[in-house]
Structure 1
Amino acid sequence: MQIVIYAIRTSEKWECYLTLDMRVDLEWWYGMRLRPNRNASMRPFVLLSMNCPLGWAVELRNGFRPMSEMDNWGNREWQRYVYQRLSTFILQEPESNRQRWAECVRNVRILEKHTLVSYVENPDGNQGSKLVGVPEQRIGGQEQEEAWIVIKSPTGVKAGGDELMQQAELLIECMAGRALLAGEVEALLAEVAGNYGDWRSAAQLGILLGRLRLEAGLVQPAPGSAPGWLRRRARAPRCRRCGSEAKSRTACAACGSAACAYCEACLAMGRSRACALLLQGIAGSAVRGTAGGSPSAALGRWGLSPAQSVAAGAALRFLAEPPAGGSAGLARFLIWAVTGAGKTEMIFPLLQSILDAGGRVLVAAPRRDVVLELAPRLSKAFPDETVVTLYGGSPERWKRGSITLATTHQLLRFRGAFDLVVIDEIDAFPYHNDPMLDYAARGASKPGGKYIYLSATPPAPLQREAAAGRLPHAKVPARFHGHPLPVPRKLKMPPVKRCLQEKKLPALLVRSLSASLQRGAQVFLFVSRIKHIEPCLELLRQAIANMPIEGTSSIDPERASKVMSFRNREIRLLVTTTILERGVTVPKSDVFILDADSELFDEAALIQMAGRAGRSKDDPAGRVVLAAPQWTRSQNLAVRQIKAMNRIASKGGYLRI
């Protein structure tokens, strides 16, 4: 889109503004209806551009620095100033377009008192202001039937400042903690306010009030901000919504640029362009936890185990502390809990601490199925709070709650919304190793907000930070039932590929699987590749007769129903991939991992898959078997970490045996 940009001399200094509706700005600076108790004396006003591409205008505004000599500038000096600030963008245009944009810059005009406004009575008896000498069809980028600069209601009837202020307050409330493109703003208002009408006048008033901020979808790095050999790369714009580098450009009818950049990384959430309007609600400072809390209080109220209570108590004290490095610092806390330790229950006292202080909390999970599983548990734990569940296609997309449960991609629409952000399974796909989602999670927190990371297998950088004392953390080394984690056993066998070629499974593997089934266990059989599932199923059904055996993967449309049948013991052995390595709890389970030496199975994946066994208090000593032709570093590290957690749990007195 194109937008109007102007400079105005306030009592303190020169300031630069963008406007979605010039009528609102004129009434703000020179009228009396929006600010009746202030001095409406004439202020010097310079119209910098009536049709500047939004991305260019935002960078001009952000780079604007008031200088005392501006008081004496004429049109020529202002034109030179604007051209210098926009020359980087103009030179990126094809040569045939540059002259047109240079002419646009030359339209800078200083508007004097006698040409800017005149106060008169219109036929309806409402006082308005008239902008003289500026093409009326260009004002606010919209066609104008008359020259009266008056505030209009959503139905087009001229209205006073009170009605516009009410509309602005509603928009500000709806936009609190959000960062939305224009189409998303309209969708939000359509659901919340019904026939809201044209929201841009209200948005402009919110911007002048300092409670909304107008940005472009992409941010342009400052020219010359990098060394020469990096300068070409450094000039690539970045998406304000997801933080990704925008490498694609195309001709754009909305702004007129022949090289308008857009972001491909978050394209599924709506096109973020260099000229796309991105409206943000201004974030307030975060609240702190109500009290440090104590392990005994957490245990008594939420029924936590001793190990859970110690970790929850440490996290509560962290929430009650001021953030390190001031309000802008990133305050993080890691809860390193073994699989099956009950991470969800541990965050309940943390959420309550922030809610009691009047704050909002976010729990982000990696996948939709995890979100849908957590939603009823949070609603049951906090029956008096509004729990909003967000995922792709969620019917609660625009609802606001004190507790928000969302997939990580949904965080792209929030900015400074939450006092506490809890990231569950921080090591899991898609969050792990995705800078876009990390950027979104950080942006969702208010200034001074706190982050709680939950993981059974934290990424190596977080483990190093915790070991060095740079990341406050608490370990939960025992499951809620107080039994040690099952330690994986070795089973030497040929690679699965060879077994399939020879159409025969090793006898030792078949005997081990049969023993698990005979003891009544549900058996997870993990393989490294989807293409191995069907041929494995054929060999297993031949080797183990009269036993319900099935397979599933990420491409299986019946995955959900098969997992449910497995839980209900209608399926006894399930061949699967790492799609079920986490988030699935099946009582009395044994785990077999074939090709455990595969490069696709790192330490974290092996620990997570092993964590499916022994989760039930009725069968805490489930079996875990690593089947492979060789023993690798990943297998060794996984077994070492499991044994280390058992030692810590034993030393802490958290084990019953």
Structure 2
Amino acid sequence: MRVAVYAVWNGRVWAIRRSLDMRVDVLWWNRNKDKLGKTAKLVFLSEAMAYSLAVEVEQEFEEQPGMESWDLGKWSTFVHEMLWDVKRESQGGWIWDLHEAAPEAVQRLLAEPAGAGRMEAALHTAGVMEELGGQAALLSKLLHGRSLLAAEVESLLQDAAPGLAGAWFSAVQLASLQGRLALDAGVAADARPRRPGRGPLRLGRDRLPRCRRCGSEATGAAPCAACGRADCAYCEACLALGRSRACSLLLRSAAGGASAVRAAAEQSTAAVRGRWGLSAAQGDAACAALGFLAEPPRKGSAERSGRAWWPLSAPAGLAVPGGKPCAPPAGSYAQGEIAPSRFLLWAVTGAGKTEMIFPLLSSILEQGGRVLVATPRRDVVLELAPRLAKAFEGTRMVTLYGGSTERWQPGDLTLATTHQLMRFYRAFDLVIIDELDAFPYHNDPMLAFAAQNACKPDGKFVYLSATPPRPLQKEAARGTLHHAKVPVRFHGHPLPVPKRITMKSIEQCLRQPHLLKKLTEALRESLERDAQVFLFVSRIRHIDPLVRILGRILAGYCVEGTSSEDPQRAAKVTRFRGREIRLLVTTTILERGVTVPRSDVFIADADSGLFDEASLVQMAGRAGRSSEDPAGKVIFASPEWTHSQKRAVKQITSMNLIARKNGYLKES
């Protein structure tokens, strides 16, 4: 993309601006010249500069002494020095003292054909600017709380406003001048720190640019037909959502309005439990979270939690006459600015986390706020959607995932996979991240960046997890992170504590099957007590040979195996739930989201480096979930007793102690 670039002097300071339709800017500043100083002027620098270069020029511009008296030659040299390693751009500029008659070059500009993507009518004729103002208002409404690339804006308009599709640049430019939208590049380098007294800045290429949509370093670069550059940077991290380039236009509009979080009120445990049918432990945790929502926001309260919230600086700009400047398009919050604070709902597997968030959703929705529930996997989104729709009838709910037909629909309650968060910008009063520790959210700074971008500065985060990452556990222990623990399942029985079987590794056992004796004896005991058995292994290659050996040893019982590479995985899980399969050998692909009544869990090679504390706790959590069989068996089978195994046992034991201390457990 190529855009016009100009400088504007308001009588006090200079600023560089870029324009998708220079006619709009000319008319805007002319209409607002009475709000500027008597010496206000525009200096037209380039009619078609590569968008990436225009962003750099605006970002890196530093005012020089005596600029008010510069002629076009001086301005041309200045811009060329800023872009010293780039071919000199064609200028064809002009200077206009706004309180004097428009020069002939400006009049020609207003009379020339609009160009692709722009409003065709002559903007300076009667009534056309008013029509354009209506289009700008509509675009601002449609982009409310959004962060979209130009191609996504076009898709949105095809769906929601076909009349604007293909010709919206003029309206977007007006909306940006009005302060309703922020225009940024999809990929751009951070601005250099300002140092007073420097001469014209030579823009180097020593800084890796970052993607403004996902925050990742943009390591790719390729020739680009859109801007003509041979080294147009692009982001490889978020390609699945469309290519974000240095020459891509990224539009952002922060959702405004009073904070619904501030209006949230604390409620009594009895009232919450009675309305939503929660257990004592669930009710106490929900009320603690409601108390957190009712607290006023604090400056700088957003914590980093071991993830990279990269600081992206706002571009230099000029205050907009008659409107507030747009919020910076950065992903982080400025120092001292109010930023979303966090609450951890630490609930054991099978505790009923979904039901516990109902009071939180209701608290915000009843105040007219917007809520986002994000979960890592599409299947969880599809499972939660009918439950939330039933609990909140009459609420506009949108369900977003790859291929969703609702991606451009507005909603008060949004249920989405975490990747979809990259299309939002400061849109939600409350953001709930489910399964914080799960793939792909865990250890992915891109998704953490997107989540923070999606929340309003004075909004709140609630994290849901049965196995929070260690940094969050430490913060909770230190008292620096608001949190509540739900240490018991809905049926009120303690969690099964893992037992240990010492045996050789599965790799050795496959070569010498008699080494499996301890494991097969324990497996037979579980099968004979009529339990369904999960046998987790660390390697996909171990599954088939292990299934063949166990099928012979445990003759009479159906033994099957599955993994992420198995096209029949869903069918086998269904057969396992239906008790047609009695023993299922699997990887951690089934460590979450699968509930099978009356089940026991065996983890072979529990000392593997692939099984961390969280994985072990999650796999153990498949046992004892049924009220008919709450004391399911969990076995860690391995030659070594590792720290991860010890910490997993300690975490489970600790939750049982807390549950007993608080009186949440049923009497035996």
Query: If the length of structure 2 is used for normalisation, what is the TM-score?
Result: 0.87
Mapping for residues 478-497 of structure 1, pairs under 5 Å: 478-497=488-507
1:649–1:629 Cα change, 3 Å? same
1:159–1:588 Cα change, 3 Å? farther
Query: Are residue 499 (structure 1) and residue 509 (structure 2) matched?
Result: yes
- Name 1:94's counterpart in structure 2: none
Mapping for residues 526-565 of structure 1, pairs under 5 Å: 526-565=536-575
- Picking from 181, 204, 219, the partner of 2:188 is 219
SS of the residue 1:265 aligns to: coil
Query: Are residue 110 (structure 1) and residue 70 (structure 2) matched?
Result: no
Q: Is the 8 A contact 2:117 2:168 kept in 1?
A: no
Q: Distance in 2 between matches of 1:570 and 1:654?
A: 35
1:298–1:604 Cα change, 3 Å? same
Q: Is the 8 A contact 1:75 1:109 kept in 2?
A: yes
- Name 2:20's counterpart in structure 1: 20
Q: Distance in 1 between matches of 2:370 and 2:110?
A: 47
Q: Distance in 2 between matches of 1:111 and 1:140?
A: 23
Say what the alpha-carbon RMSD is for the aligned residues. 2.8
- Equivalent AA in structure 2 for residue 324 of structure 1: R
Q: Is the 8 A contact 1:589 1:613 kept in 2?
A: yes
- Name 1:57's counterpart in structure 2: 54
Query: Are residue 166 (structure 1) and residue 134 (structure 2) matched?
Result: yes
Q: Distance in 2 between matches of 1:310 and 1:587?
A: 27
Query: Are residue 287 (structure 1) and residue 257 (structure 2) matched?
Result: no
Cα shift at 1:380: 1.2
Query: Are residue 352 (structure 1) and residue 362 (structure 2) matched?
Result: yes
- Name 2:106's counterpart in structure 1: 131
Cα shift at 1:480: 1.3
- Picking from 427, 442, 448, the partner of 2:437 is 427
| Identical-residue share of aligned pairs (%) | 55
- Name 2:284's counterpart in structure 1: 310
- Equivalent AA in structure 2 for residue 281 of structure 1: S
Cα shift at 1:497: 1.0
Q: Distance in 1 between matches of 2:384 and 2:97?
A: 62
- Name 2:7's counterpart in structure 1: 7
Q: Is the 8 A contact 2:365 2:371 kept in 1?
A: yes
Q: Distance in 2 between matches of 1:40 and 1:585?
A: 70
User: What CA deviation, in whole Å up to 9, does each residue of 1:364-406 have, x standing for no partner?
Assistant: 1111111111111111111121221111111212122111111
- Name 1:71's counterpart in structure 2: 68
Q: Distance in 1 between matches of 2:644 and 2:663?
A: 29
SS of the residue 2:179 aligns to: coil
1:543–1:137 Cα change, 3 Å? farther
User: What CA deviation, in whole Å up to 9, does each residue of 1:326-352 have, x standing for no partner?
Assistant: 652230111111111111111111111
Mapping for residues 135-146 of structure 1, pairs under 5 Å: none
Query: Would you say how many aligned residue pairs link Structure 1 and Structure 2?
Result: 620
Cα shift at 1:112: 4.7
- Equivalent AA in structure 1 for residue 652 of structure 2: I
Q: Distance in 2 between matches of 1:75 and 1:562?
A: 74
Q: Distance in 1 between matches of 2:576 and 2:347?
A: 26
Q: Is the 8 A contact 2:140 2:181 kept in 1?
A: yes
1:19–1:224 Cα change, 3 Å? closer
Query: If the length of structure 1 is used for normalisation, what is the TM-score?
Result: 0.88
Query: Are residue 175 (structure 1) and residue 149 (structure 2) matched?
Result: no
SS of the residue 1:564 aligns to: helix
Query: Are residue 272 (structure 1) and residue 244 (structure 2) matched?
Result: yes
Q: Is the 8 A contact 2:20 2:173 kept in 1?
A: yes
- Equivalent AA in structure 2 for residue 191 of structure 1: D
- Picking from 194, 218, 222, the partner of 1:250 is 222
SS of the residue 1:627 aligns to: strand
Q: Distance in 2 between matches of 1:243 and 1:330?
A: 18
- Name 2:324's counterpart in structure 1: none
- Name 1:199's counterpart in structure 2: 168
- Equivalent AA in structure 2 for residue 529 of structure 1: R
Cα shift at 1:323: 1.5
User: What CA deviation, in whole Å up to 9, does each residue of 1:586-610 have, x standing for no partner?
Assistant: 1111111111111111111000000
- Name 2:625's counterpart in structure 1: 615
Q: Is the 8 A contact 1:417 1:446 kept in 2?
A: yes
- Name 1:450's counterpart in structure 2: 460
User: What CA deviation, in whole Å up to 9, does each residue of 1:39-66 have, x standing for no partner?
Assistant: 9999521112211121221233344566
- Name 1:125's counterpart in structure 2: none
Q: Distance in 2 between matches of 1:648 and 1:234?
A: 54
Q: Distance in 2 between matches of 1:107 and 1:218?
A: 28
1:203–1:233 Cα change, 3 Å? closer
Q: Is the 8 A contact 1:14 1:67 kept in 2?
A: no
Unaligned stretches of 5+ residues in structure 1: 92-97, 119-129, 152-157
Cα shift at 1:637: 0.9
- Name 2:316's counterpart in structure 1: none
User: What CA deviation, in whole Å up to 9, does each residue of 1:537-583 have, x standing for no partner?
Assistant: 11121111222222211111222222222222222221111011111
1:28–1:547 Cα change, 3 Å? same
SS of the residue 1:102 aligns to: coil
Q: Is the 8 A contact 2:418 2:441 kept in 1?
A: yes
User: What CA deviation, in whole Å up to 9, does each residue of 1:513-559 have, x standing for no partner?
Assistant: 12212222111111111111111111121111222222211111222
Cα shift at 1:189: 1.0
1:496–1:258 Cα change, 3 Å? same
- Name 1:126's counterpart in structure 2: none
- Picking from 484, 493, 514, the partner of 1:474 is 484
- Name 1:645's counterpart in structure 2: 655
Mapping for residues 542-621 of structure 1, pairs under 5 Å: 542-621=552-631
Q: Distance in 1 between matches of 2:89 and 2:536?
A: 66
Q: Distance in 2 between matches of 1:39 and 1:223?
A: 29
Q: Is the 8 A contact 2:10 2:36 kept in 1?
A: no
SS of the residue 2:7 aligns to: strand
Q: Is the 8 A contact 1:75 1:110 kept in 2?
A: yes
- Name 1:208's counterpart in structure 2: 177
Q: Distance in 1 between matches of 2:473 and 2:373?
A: 22
1:64–1:479 Cα change, 3 Å? same
Cα shift at 1:353: 1.0
Cα shift at 1:220: 1.3
Cα shift at 1:292: 1.7
